[in-house]
Structure 1
Amino acid sequence: MTRRRFQTFDDPSHRKGPERAAALRAALREAGLDGFVVPRADEHQSEYVPAQAERLAWLTGFTGSAGTAIVLTDRAALFVDGRYTLQAPDQVDTGTFAVVPIAATTPEAWLAEALQPGAVLGYDPWLHTPDGVARLERAATKAGASLRPVAASPVDAAWAGRPKPPAGAVAAHPLDLSGEEAAHKLGRIRAALAEAGIDALVISDPHNLAWAFNLRGADIGHTPLALGYALLPREGRARLFLTSPALTPEARAALAPLADVAPRAEFAESLGAEARGRIRLDAATGAAALKEIVAGAGAVADVGPDPITAMKAVKNAAEIAGTRAAHHRDGLAVTRFLAWLDAAAARGDLGEIAAVEALEDFRAEGGLLRDVSFPTISGSGPNGAIVHYRVTRATDRIVREGELFLIDSGAQYADGTTDITRTVAVGAPSPEMRDRFTRVLKGHLAIGRAVFPEGTTGAQIDALARVPLWQAGLDFDHGTGHGVGAFLSVHEGPQRIAKTGTVALKAGMILSNEPGYYKANAYGIRIENLILVEPRPIPGGERPMLGFETLTLAPYDRRLIATDLLDAGEIAWLDAYHAHLREVLGPDLDAGTRAWLERATRPLG
């Protein structure tokens, strides 16, 4: 029997822009609106959303994880960030939607110019944060227009055959993997609320709900979440409002001493009835609708950070041990795949989809695989230059001689979450390819080898990855690293290594280290490991210092390394890392893969 795969390769766009934009405009006329804002969001501002919330993809054909469409009576635009400036025009009917890089023009700036005086712009208050609504309000006011919330989304009215809400099973996350009882976590959260003078917390982020109550779900792909909300009073019993009623007996028993469970449909009414005093709403994931409900009940809507987010980011000993075990398992799978890839690519008939399926098979054979942690980016040649490229049957491309192949993938295991990118040469790489790869590698090593004082932010570290590229007049248009959860989201805040990374890194945080370089219509290069922030005491030092443990276990492609661009310390680190791979992975590999690993990790020095 063929096992179920976690990825599909159908083209979701089908160039439906004109007819779907027309259907939306008809719904807008019915609602008395002159325009509507369609963010890539669900009620929780999630990165991965259930099928029924894929409104942006349905309307435009764009499948990226972030973006906003605005449809007016006479024009429409899709706004994307630097990750998607190549992908979006390929997926969208640009005669219907102008693709606008946010770096050039924000949605609010565009609205201020495009809205006509007296126009009414609609929005769904469940799909925007209060801060987002305030920005739209300012843009509408500047144009002499008005902003109106809608009770029922006109997109949903226009969307024939919209999928039903998810109903995945909700299971307990065991103590040996969570490392902390839910009751103790709730005590820590309540203490934080008391310190801030907050009477209750609305948990609107499903990741935070999963962590706080030690639950894992199956309501969306790639992240083990149960969608819903929780109302956690500073004193008294918590209430959970879950989209799915399918709690396992173990989950019900674990929740019984902690919280009452009710259907998601009852949440808004219950919040309105129970809101008293000062209610904390998460600034990042709390919908504007929640603020209106709380204010309507006479309570104070305190919009700020959910304290769970910072707690969840610092992994405990059990979570770290599970993550290390997951990376060992994943390293074996990826190494087997890379050995297989060398032989398969040399035949000249390997496609991008076949590579995705092979890597998933290698991971499944290792056991404990629950899902991939995001759709695998499998890009050969020019497709590798599309930062978040997602292969479809229409775009599937053969991996050709003389090209680079980029594969960015991850797994959700019961004990941890992984994310790794390797770029490999097919045949002999050009001198330019080796130069660019080595510059990316130097930035990657600068992050991995960094030692820094406590209190250092991701923004302060980000430049280390870019300096070797800057020296050649090059750069990349995405962050260098994102936070990663423990059998939760592969993209977790608040920690990140980026120009906008304002949060101080702390021991126990896990991040990615993934600089890149992308030559449009030619090739892409990205190198990614996951790294764990750890104490790094310096003998004779005067301040507490931190550094990174590299968690990911898989070789770099030696064929792409220009050793003349590396210094002695960089070569020593690479040789030590490769020796470590031979030591920890070699005994668990078959003889053929072990021999390949020996060749692939020969010392550079």
Structure 2
Amino acid sequence: MRFQSFDNPAPGSDHAARLEALRQVVRAQDLAAVIVPRADVHQGEYVADADARLAWLTGFTGSAGFAIVCADRAGVFVDGRYRVQVRDQLDLAQFTPVNWPETRPSDWLREALPQGGRVGFDPWLHARREIEGMETALEGSGIGLIALEANPVDAVWPDRPAPPVGAARIHPDELAGETAAAKRGRLADALKAEDQAAALLTLPDSISWLLNIRGSDLPKNPVVQSFAVLSDSGHLALFADGAKFDGALRAHLGPDVTILPPDSLSAALTDLEGPVRLDPASAPEAAFRILEDAGTTIARGPDPAVLPKARKTEAELAGMRAAHHRDGVAMVCLLAWLDRQDPSALTEIDVVRHLEDLRRQAGILDISFDTIMGAGPNGAIVHYRVTEGTNRRLEPGELLLIDSGGQYADGTTDITRTVALGPVRADAVAPFTAVLRGMIALSRARFPKGVAGAHLDALARQFLWAEGLDFDHGTGHGVGAALCVHEGPARISRAGDVALEVGMILSNEPGYYREGAFGIRIENLVAVAPAEAEPGRSLLGFETLTLCPIDRRLIDRDALSRDEIAWLDDYHARVRAALSPDLQGADLDWLAAATRPLA
């Protein structure tokens, strides 16, 4: 099992030398600049060590962002989640943080290259839609995007790790709720209905879901790194390292799945007959170019597995509920233990390790992401990752933000709780209560079919907005079932344009962050489910999956409405009834106290 490491980022002097080495390659290729994304060929949020080019070059380890390196400047573009973190990790004498998307890369390039110039990019690391958007934004600037045959970072990375070859495993049909053959047939029928001969699948979680397999190529994400071509007959060509598949797994895949070497993909694409479906939002620019050069008709469309994967089966929902039950027990044991300690005797890493031990006892295969354990001002770093260098000792009177999750055989969890360490910090009560009210409002929402996350996002922010406050991340992301903790296409944010459907699982996680002081976030996972409505009308709502108390000490009871108090009391009663049979002694006593009614 692989769990969280606490390594410190590489020293800044290394990054200065790496930056200069990259600039030499850029100059040698007659380029004015080069783009270095935080992406691999699958456009995934999490990347293997071999693909961590942005972190190797700059020292920034966040899960989203990119750099643009010119002769006289190097910008590292990050969104609101990483504004604090990026300043801590970069050598600011070499790299300049850039607020993105407020500053578009095209605007930055226009300023950096006023006379125009050639900007290189690796076409395997950028989706077609991204490149088209940049080309449109650069029109009239004299700046051209140049697809490179080889990645320039790889040319100066002498000890680049080898690609992962993690063993794959069968994901049982009883947990999936549908056989892989049935899934392939269903998706193949959809291709035929669109008069499409084949589809290129580039997202490992889509392929792992489709074939009812799971992998170990990436820490915390149980996917098999691979590409696949699904034909309208239901046959699938899987481009993956054959060493990942033992005899039992090959038998599970069956005769209609052919395993081919990864380096044979380009030739196979050249030989395809169209129309071939490619998703411009996720398929690499290189794949489009290969098919276009071969004269193959391309049918633009979403990855055919994305929506079916997001609509969880009853078996997947049952597995997620079971996983959240076990995870809730681990979280209660953690919080009860924490309340019994002298905070000043603990560090952030101490608490992370104890939580991982508790989740091991609950049966996790891995954590679902690096635990965010932010004490005091570290909690204000939205995606804070504790290292030996940043490890903070807990102090009475501070807040501790705990965002964590587990990968179980039957489900994936993601939960955030913010707790008071000893005496309650008075200036945190109002924003904590506003965050809680937003979380409750979203939990209680009912909405008609066709409503997307963008329509609901304001529900979680309204009480913060009323106080002149806000947070700089989405309110919710999709979550996979025993798959990736971040899953598309549905999300709850101002950009969430995908209609929510029964079976989709999302996070509900409003927050508030006061730089240099504390961070607050409360997160439950919710499943979209039918809701009560008047006869003749169909409405949807949310079933809360997460089972764990919310810190009553930080709540301004007088600020809550009667309905909000009723929701919280009902939620706590459900948590108490569900988890009490699996607890004993001091942990059981703690749960009873933590879930007593507010009313």
TM-score (norm 1): 0.97
Secondary structure of residue in 2 paired with 1:465: helix
Matches within 5 A, 1:326-341: 326-341=323-338
Q: For residue 117 of structure 1, report the CA deviation from its aligned partner.
A: 2.7
Contact 1:6 1:372 in 2 (8 A): yes
Classify 1:463/1:508 alpha carbon distance in 2 versus 1 (closer, same or farther; 3 Å): same
Matches within 5 A, 1:31-42: 31-42=29-40
Secondary structure of residue in 2 paired with 1:155: helix
Matches within 5 A, 1:307-456: 307-344=304-341, 346-367=342-363, 369-456=364-451
Q: Which amino acid in structure 1 is aligned with residue 276 of structure 2? A: I
**Which of 577, 580, 590 matches 2:584?**
590
Secondary structure of residue in 2 paired with 1:327: helix
Stretch deviating more after TM superposition (544-553 or 26-35): 26-35
Alignment partner, residue 292 of structure 1: 289
Matches within 5 A, 1:18-57: 18-57=16-55
Alignment partner, residue 569 of structure 1: 563
Contact 2:184 2:234 in 1 (8 A): no
Classify 1:471/1:108 alpha carbon distance in 2 versus 1 (closer, same or farther; 3 Å): same
Stretch deviating more after TM superposition (249-258 or 141-150): 141-150
Alignment partner, residue 170 of structure 2: 172
Q: For residue 500 of structure 1, report the CA deviation from its aligned partner.
A: 0.7
Contact 1:245 1:263 in 2 (8 A): no
Alignment partner, residue 279 of structure 1: 276
Secondary structure of residue in 2 paired with 1:164: coil
Alignment partner, residue 194 of structure 2: 196
Q: For residue 141 of structure 1, report the CA deviation from its aligned partner.
A: 4.2
Alignment partner, residue 259 of structure 2: 261
Secondary structure of residue in 2 paired with 1:245: helix
Alignment partner, residue 553 of structure 2: 559
Distance 1:562 1:243 in 2: 56
Q: For residue 257 of structure 1, report the CA deviation from its aligned partner.
A: 2.5
Distance 2:144 2:431 in 1: 49
Distance 1:42 1:5 in 2: 21
* Cα shift readout 1:46-77 (whole Å, capped 9, x = no counterpart): 01111100000001100011101000111110
Classify 1:236/1:443 alpha carbon distance in 2 versus 1 (closer, same or farther; 3 Å): closer
Classify 1:244/1:91 alpha carbon distance in 2 versus 1 (closer, same or farther; 3 Å): farther
Contact 2:505 2:525 in 1 (8 A): yes
- Aligned: 1:144 with 2:139: no
Q: For residue 259 of structure 1, report the CA deviation from its aligned partner.
A: 1.0
**Which of 527, 532, 537 matches 2:532?**
537
Distance 2:539 2:515 in 1: 40
**Which of 5, 8, 11 matches 1:8?**
5
Distance 1:486 1:396 in 2: 32
Distance 2:246 2:482 in 1: 18
* Cα shift readout 1:448-488 (whole Å, capped 9, x = no counterpart): 11111111111111100011111111111111000000011
Alignment partner, residue 63 of structure 2: 65
Contact 2:110 2:116 in 1 (8 A): no
Q: Which amino acid in structure 2 is aligned with residue 350 of structure 1? A: L
Contact 1:45 1:284 in 2 (8 A): no
**Which of 462, 466, 470 matches 1:467?**
462
Contact 1:313 1:508 in 2 (8 A): yes
Stretch deviating more after TM superposition (127-136 or 411-420): 127-136
Distance 1:576 1:119 in 2: 62
Q: Which amino acid in structure 2 is aligned with residue 570 of structure 1? A: E
Stretch deviating more after TM superposition (145-154 or 557-566): 145-154
* Cα shift readout 1:85-141 (whole Å, capped 9, x = no counterpart): 111011011221110111431112111221243522110000011121123333554
Q: Which amino acid in structure 2 is aligned with residue 329 of structure 1? A: R
Q: Which amino acid in structure 2 is aligned with residue 317 of structure 1? A: E
Q: Which amino acid in structure 2 is aligned with residue 22 of structure 1? A: E
Aligned pairs, number: 598
Distance 1:61 1:534 in 2: 42
- Aligned: 1:604 with 2:598: yes
Secondary structure of residue in 1 paired with 2:67: strand
Contact 1:13 1:62 in 2 (8 A): no
CA RMSD of aligned residues (A): 1.3
Q: Which amino acid in structure 2 is aligned with residue 294 of structure 1? A: L
Q: For residue 205 of structure 1, report the CA deviation from its aligned partner.
A: 0.6
Classify 1:83/1:347 alpha carbon distance in 2 versus 1 (closer, same or farther; 3 Å): closer
Alignment partner, residue 89 of structure 2: 91
Matches within 5 A, 1:504-543: 504-538=499-533, 540-543=534-537
Moved over 3 A (4+): 138-142
Secondary structure of residue in 1 paired with 2:106: helix
Secondary structure of residue in 1 paired with 2:239: strand
Q: Give 5+ residue unaligned stretches, structure 1.
A: none
**Which of 472, 479, 484 matches 1:477?**
472
Contact 2:417 2:522 in 1 (8 A): yes
Secondary structure of residue in 2 paired with 1:85: helix
Contact 2:2 2:219 in 1 (8 A): no
Distance 1:66 1:464 in 2: 26
Secondary structure of residue in 2 paired with 1:535: strand
Secondary structure of residue in 1 paired with 2:345: coil
Classify 1:551/1:22 alpha carbon distance in 2 versus 1 (closer, same or farther; 3 Å): same
Distance 2:308 2:56 in 1: 36
Contact 2:42 2:204 in 1 (8 A): yes
Q: For residue 195 of structure 1, report the CA deviation from its aligned partner.
A: 2.0
Secondary structure of residue in 1 paired with 2:494: coil
Distance 2:243 2:138 in 1: 41
Stretch deviating more after TM superposition (349-358 or 243-252): 243-252
Distance 2:411 2:294 in 1: 41
Q: Percent identity between the aligned chains?
A: 51
Distance 1:427 1:128 in 2: 48
Q: For residue 146 of structure 1, report the CA deviation from its aligned partner.
A: 2.3
Distance 1:115 1:139 in 2: 14
TM-score (norm 2): 0.98
Q: For residue 301 of structure 1, report the CA deviation from its aligned partner.
A: 2.1
Q: For residue 522 of structure 1, report the CA deviation from its aligned partner.
A: 0.4
Contact 1:237 1:259 in 2 (8 A): yes
Distance 1:168 1:255 in 2: 17
Stretch deviating more after TM superposition (401-410 or 96-105): 96-105
Distance 1:104 1:457 in 2: 24
Alignment partner, residue 299 of structure 2: 302
Q: For residue 270 of structure 1, report the CA deviation from its aligned partner.
A: 1.3
Classify 1:530/1:118 alpha carbon distance in 2 versus 1 (closer, same or farther; 3 Å): closer
Distance 1:206 1:395 in 2: 33
Q: For residue 236 of structure 1, report the CA deviation from its aligned partner.
A: 5.9
Contact 1:447 1:465 in 2 (8 A): yes
Matches within 5 A, 1:196-215: 196-215=194-213
